[in-house]
Amino acid sequence: MNQPTKARILPDELLREFAQRFGTPLYVYDAATLLARATELLDARASDGRGFDFVRYAQKANPNLALLELLREHGVLVDAVSSGELVRARSAGYAPHQIQFCADLFDRDTLARLGAEPFAVNVGSPDMLEQLAAVPSATREVTLRVNPGFGHGHDAKVSTGGSTSKHGIWHEALPSAVLRARRHGLEVVGLHVHIGSGSDLENLTRSGAALEAAARVVGASLESISAGGGLPVPYRANEARFDLQKHVEFWCGVRARIEGQLQRRIDLELEPGRYLVAECGLLLSEVRGLKRNGEHEYVLVDAGFHNLVRPAMYGAWHDISVLGRDNEPHEPFLVAGPLCESADVFTQGKGGAPLPRELPRPRIGDLVCLHDAGAYGAAMASNYNSQLLAAEVLVEHSEARLVRQRQSFEHLLEAELRCRR
């Protein structure tokens, strides 16, 4: 029996036209899917009638300016984990106060930017407190990222809590961090927790108790709490969707208890990356060959882990479909890219185990879709093997706009300085 795959987000005729017009490999994003996710999060309501006061996009998942602009217009705030992301968010039209810098260290360039514009800051390590306080015109209000002592994600590499994670201020060190902030003239106005990426409801809600305890430490100056991101998406056709209703219910409960404790209103924030952008994007690639090596038959496509590294890095699953062949009989194939690297295979499990995928037999020239590639796809792309970064296209109101040009070879070499000429 043919394995079901998720439906393609856009009609085949359109995808074929894009491949012709823009070439492959090509990232294609659907604005309607993106905005549907944003609306879902902004509109989520618990039984107390309240929801997330702010949804803040973790742009690391996909920092394309066009997506940032769409989310900004839709009322979604943004976070930044580097100077580059501060610059991007500003360039997408965000005002400094709508952008929160969130990291475990300040590099010197970031400190200079925090001194020049009133960005919000979420502090992930105690040493950052003095460093921020020493910048004359930087914000004097901070939020603290708490490491609650445990983490969880779709892979151990993306767990961001517990002692094996570098992230956040260790929960037991919070009282001393709060005193340290105050000694340096900083007011702690917010608390934040983010235990990992692609987690599940059970683990994502475990950190509620840690935030309640942390709120008791901070006391009267607290104005907001952030539940972080980490919300999973269904990468497989038969996977259940995340229960957003239970999530909002749980976090509104946490917020209500903290409000009861402190006798004041507290804003509740959510900070998703993947949940907003994963499903709006696909990676389109062309079949360039087929071959059998021993017991495995390979489909060779022109996209590789320089475009989408999640399978090679985490053993992550992306549904794969072949345009125009959904109803043909399926056979097991490994789908591999052009890189001179054995790990350049999209059909692998954790530790690199080959996982043959049931697919229709493609022909050379067929178009293959890697589904749900909008998050941590283009964002993690590289120039490995001197491959060019792919073009990116956004479809909005049935119109396609190139939102990233395919990189050129001139651009690839431009920053390199020769010793001999």
Ligand X SMILES: Cc1ncc(COP(=O)(O)O)c(C=O)c1O
Annotated catalytic sites, by residue? 340
Q: Is 227 in the site for ligand X (CB under 6 A)?
A: no
Q: Is 125 in the site for ligand X (CB under 6 A)?
A: no
**Which residues, in sequence order, are bridge partners of residue 30?**
395
Cβ neighbours of residue 1 closer than 8 Å, sequence gap 6 or more: none
Beta strands in 280-390 (DSSP E): 281-293, 296-301, 320-322, 330-336, 357-360, 367-370
Q: Is 61 in the site for ligand X (CB under 6 A)?
A: yes
From candidates 63, 148, 273, 311, binder to ligand X by CB under 6 A: 273
Which 8-state DSSP code applies to residue 415?
A: T
Q: Is 160 in the site for ligand X (CB under 6 A)?
A: yes
Query: For residues 138 and 276, which CB has a smaller minimum distance to ligand X in the complex?
Result: 276
Query: For residues 144 and 231, which CB has a smaller minimum distance to ligand X in the complex?
Result: 231
Q: Is 55 in the site for ligand X (CB under 6 A)?
A: no
Query: For residues 277 and 367, which CB has a smaller minimum distance to ligand X in the complex?
Result: 277
Three-state SS for 142?
strand
Q: How many residues does the chain have?
A: 421
**What tokens were used for 41?**
């999060």
**Which residues, in sequence order, are bridge partners of residue 268?**
225
Q: Is 194 in the site for ligand X (CB under 6 A)?
A: yes
Q: Is 231 in the site for ligand X (CB under 6 A)?
A: yes
3-state secondary structure 240-299: CCCCHHHHHHHHHHHHHHHHHHHCCCCEEEECCCHHHHHHHEEEEEEEEEEEEECCEEEE
Residue 82 CA to its chain's centroid (Å): 14
Q: Is 143 in the site for ligand X (CB under 6 A)?
A: no
Q: Is 230 in the site for ligand X (CB under 6 A)?
A: yes
Q: Is 165 in the site for ligand X (CB under 6 A)?
A: no
Confirm if 165 and 212 have CB atoms less than 8 A apart. Answer: no
Q: Is 63 in the site for ligand X (CB under 6 A)?
A: no
Query: For residues 114 and 195, which CB has a smaller minimum distance to ligand X in the complex?
Result: 195
Q: Which residue has the tokens 């001194």?
A: 115
Nearest distance from residue 103's CB to ligand X, in Å? Answer: 8
C-alpha dihedral, 404 to 198 to 237 to 306, nearest 10°: 40
Per-residue binding letters, 313-352, with ligand X (x by CB under 6 A)? ----------------------------------------
Number of residues that bind ligand X (CB under 6 A): 17
The residues of the shown chain that bind ligand X, judged by CB under 6 A, are 58, 60-61, 102, 160, 194, 197-198, 228-231, 271-275
